[in-house]
Structure 1
């Protein structure tokens, strides 16, 4: 049997769900016991930290993982993610490997400026809270109109089962994804709110359903 080299999890997950602080503590403890690094993918980190009913802080992510990333593009940055570690020995020749694979810019100041701005005056967490609050409005709107949730997500990703004719109607005013194969009469879809969505956008969508 191949020996596992790392535990990888996403916060939040592709299904819009989040781990609790106790779950992360348990996973982190098991990783330490097995001497396996824990990596947390934070491409959507701002929205996981702002999850409704969540109890995980950025300081928890930093303390419980060995390496984690902070997503930028899903929070309005032009490009890039920040890799963070308390154990640099886990990433030998990291800079050289990035350059080898064409992922390093000759001039990286723009990337740094973006993350400096995102972590000034709590902007990163504010963006997450903004998107999640709109997602909760969207969720309530669908439920109040009799639609069934496909997944009950506390984050900015909302999964709803829609009649196929309603899907075609909504495509004229909103972008969303099929979440699985198209059904005969209805199909699960995913809506995602982010830094750019406004209350007016949500009102327009809810009026259409």
Structure 2
């Protein structure tokens, strides 16, 4: 069985394992104060072009989301998300467990728009309701779509005008930035978000996400929040070494590009067979719509998610490629299709 189920089925890129082994017996400060973590932070701040940013490394995406949101909001404040947002569907109520309501709206191909955000803000008018304070978006989105620069500029401008924080979940940021349809850079995220994170877990790292806090208001005492939420690792070097390896020579982008190329090959082969897609296939997550009998046949040889029913005869599945996806696996899938 070959898996297109997710982009974290494999372990880590060999260069990361090599770096971890080579530094294994060195003695360093704990809790992310080691020289590797410090250097990784400086490299990321340089790529974001914001020397005043704070960079913090945590283990996973749900942990990053709940720490950022709970640290940024007062008890009566809420966060706005698309219905498909990861914090709304796939985090076991983690945000609600911190005491904050998620105001959900129906997105457009998984994306928020200014009009959708405005609806929520204008609905919450007094102290008898929660007060929206943060906007949460993902890039790529949970259904594989992308935010373009103009969309992000419009959302960020609205947030600034209306005293809202903009938080971008970058679990699959590598795929977003390396998409053929992308026009955003890390530097753009340094000026068009209050906080975002760079996903390592789904792009070649063993574990790890890099939280980048651009807004100085959100930087105060952030390590206290990390410690309270169990995210301040004694062996923080494990995360810092990985992000240093990913960013010192742009390995991060090379790995994401490979994942996208494999997804592109899948997309082209599926289109040649005459099948369409649930959403525009522009990243390493694609959602082909196939006859149910074809899906049943493919499921005997490949792992993937059955995403949603389209009609009585067809359904959408999710295919995900990774930094380690083998081209022969893609070729075999298309032949079996």
Question: TM-score scaled by structure 1?
Answer: 0.94
**For structure 2, which runs of at least 5 residues remain unmatched after alignment?**
1-123, 125-129
TM-superposed deviation, 1:103: 2.2
RCO comparison, higher one (Cα < 8 Å, 6+): 2
TM-superposed deviation, 1:182: 8.1
* 1:38 equivalent among 166, 183, 190: 166
| Larger Rg computed on CA atoms | 2
Question: TM-score scaled by structure 2?
Answer: 0.59
Verify the 8 A CA contact 1:40 1:65 in the aligned structure 2.
Answer: yes
* 1:145 equivalent among 231, 249, 273: 273
1:182–1:86 distance in 2 versus 1, CA, 3 Å = closer
Are positions 1:24 and 2:155 aligned together?
no
User: Which residue number in structure 2 is paired with residue 61 of structure 1?
Assistant: 189
User: Which residue number in structure 1 is paired with residue 10 of structure 2?
Assistant: none
Verify the 8 A CA contact 1:15 1:153 in the aligned structure 2.
Answer: no
**For structure 1, which runs of at least 5 residues remain unmatched after alignment?**
none
Q: Where do 4+ consecutive residues of structure 1 move more than 3 Å?
A: 181-184
Structure 2 CA distance for aligned equivalents of residues 141 and 48 of structure 1: 21
TM-superposed deviation, 1:105: 1.7
Verify the 8 A CA contact 2:288 2:317 in the aligned structure 1.
Answer: yes
TM-superposed deviation, 1:141: 0.4
Aligned Cα root-mean-square deviation (Å)? 1.5
Structure 1 CA distance for aligned equivalents of residues 232 and 146 of structure 2: 31
TM-superposed deviation, 1:122: 1.3
* 2:323 equivalent among 191, 195, 209: 195
Structure 1 CA distance for aligned equivalents of residues 161 and 178 of structure 2: 30
User: Which residue number in structure 1 is paired with residue 254 of structure 2?
Assistant: 126
Structure 1 CA distance for aligned equivalents of residues 293 and 233 of structure 2: 46
Are positions 1:103 and 2:222 aligned together?
no
Structure 2 CA distance for aligned equivalents of residues 5 and 184 of structure 1: 42
User: Which residue number in structure 2 is paired with residue 135 of structure 1?
Assistant: 263
